[in-house]
Amino acid sequence: MTAIRTTNMPDGSAMPVFGLGTWHMGGNASAFADEVAALRAGLDLGVTLIDTAEMYASGGAERVVAEAIKGRRDETFLVSKVLPTNAAYDKTIAACEASLERLGTDHLDLYLYHWPSGTPFEDTIRAFEDLQQDGKILRWGVSNFDVDEMEAVEEISDACQANQVLYNLMRRGIEHDLVDWCEARSMPIMAYSPLEQGSLLNDTIVREIAEARNATPAQIALAWILRNPSAVVIPKSSKPERIRENLGALDIALSDEELEALDDAFPPPSDKQSLEMI
Ligand code: NDP
């Protein structure tokens, strides 16, 4: 079993730096058992963080997660998200309750606002505060929020605990400002699509670095994100052997030479870029 490093959130509690993504799970009945088995294999390997959302397969992914964590809720750090179409106060409360029902649990460890919408942030944050007061969520955060949106949130509340954003070697825009903004508040960046949904794995440089140190391209791509101690990766796989492989990233510290080669192939941003989303 792997002991997974943690990073602290602004409230002082710990978030594991490696979790399991679930997008595209739960949409196909014939894959259900394999998806449940993959998440259970992850839990058996010591992974506790599971990232899901009401959006994924319209609740289907949450049902996969429910089956996987049956009898093991206590060992799980459960993250789900409210859709922008449910960002109004009443709808957020109802959406959270529906997620809890599908997940077969009475609370979430972290509830995220999936991406910003026209609903005033005050409404959604008030719902988060009431859900927290009722013990239905332990804490809340956001996703796909750029610096200006983080600042707008901070004007309302200082209780945001995480920002989940697109971040991988091919998507480095947030290094210009958002990474520092979050780090200054010890707020974890949860890097989604850390493998660029698989496309990074065919990159020549990533493959060369992997081969030279007897690792795999996925491990190099994840280790690169994990070079930042407050970054969290949530790769998705429905295959237990790949989850085991991905976890190997935690044992890899990339050398200065390797990091330079990756910088040459995937240059860091030289100016502000608008936040990318998948
Ligand atoms: P990832 O970058 O995690 O890539 C997932 C893809 O890579 C799958 O096709 C998977 O296939 C494959 N894969 C995983 N591990 C390996 C490996 N070791 N070797 C080869 N292929 C591999 O993409 P996601 O978009 O799924 O992002 C991860 C998670 O982030 C999501 O599942 C979701 O939970 C979250 N997310 C959040 C968003 C947001 O807006 N907040 C947006 C997008 C994602 P297979 O399953 O067959 O192994």
Q: Interface pTM (ipTM) of the complex? A: 0.99
- Per-residue confidence at 65, pLDDT binned at 50, 70, 90? very high
> How does pLDDT run across 163-186, given as a tens digit for each residue?
999 999 999 999 999 999 999 999
Query: Which of 20, 23, 99 is the pocket-test mutation for ligand 1 (most atoms within 8 Å of CB)?
Result: 23
pLDDT score, position 3: 79
For residue 2, pLDDT over 70 is answered with no
How confident is the model at residue 194, as a pLDDT?
Answer: 98
Q: What confidence score (pLDDT) does residue 9 get? A: 98
Q: Which residues make up each annotated binding site for substrate?
A: 114
The reported pLDDT for the residue numbered 83 is 98
Q: What is the pLDDT of residue 117?
A: 92
Query: What is the average per-residue pLDDT within 188-217?
Result: 98
CB 25 near ligand 1, within 6 Å: no
Instruction: Find out whether the beta carbon of 192 lies less than 6 Å from any atom of ligand 1.
Output: yes
How close is the Cα of 126 to the center of ligand 1, in Å?
Answer: 31
Mean pLDDT confidence for 219-229? 98
Averaged pLDDT for residues 19-30? 97
Average pLDDT over residues 189-209: 98
Predicted confidence band of residue 159 (pLDDT cuts 50, 70, 90): very high
- Report the catalytic residues: 56
Find out whether the beta carbon of 80 lies less than 6 Å from any atom of ligand 1.
Answer: no
**Minimum CA distance residue for ligand 1 atom 29:** 21
Per-residue model confidence (pLDDT) at position 105? 98
CA–centroid distance, residue 20 to ligand 1 (Å) = 9
Nearest CA to ligand 1 atom 3: 235
pLDDT at 193: 98
* Cβ of 239 less than 6 Å from ligand 1: yes
pLDDT at 212 over 90: yes
Residue nearest to atom 4 of ligand 1 (CA): 197
Q: In this model, does residue 1 exceed pLDDT 90?
A: no
Ligand 1 atom closest to the Cα of residue 195 is 2
Residue 67's pLDDT is 98
Residue nearest to atom 5 of ligand 1 (CA): 197
**Each residue of 127-139: pLDDT tens digit?**
999 999 999 999 9
129 CA to middle of ligand 1, Å?
30
Report how far ligand 1's centroid is from the alpha carbon of 49 (Å).
14
**Mean pLDDT of all residues belonging to the chain:** 97
For 249, residues 6+ apart whose C-beta sits below 8 A from its C-beta are: 18, 218, 219, 220, 221, 222, 223, 226, 233
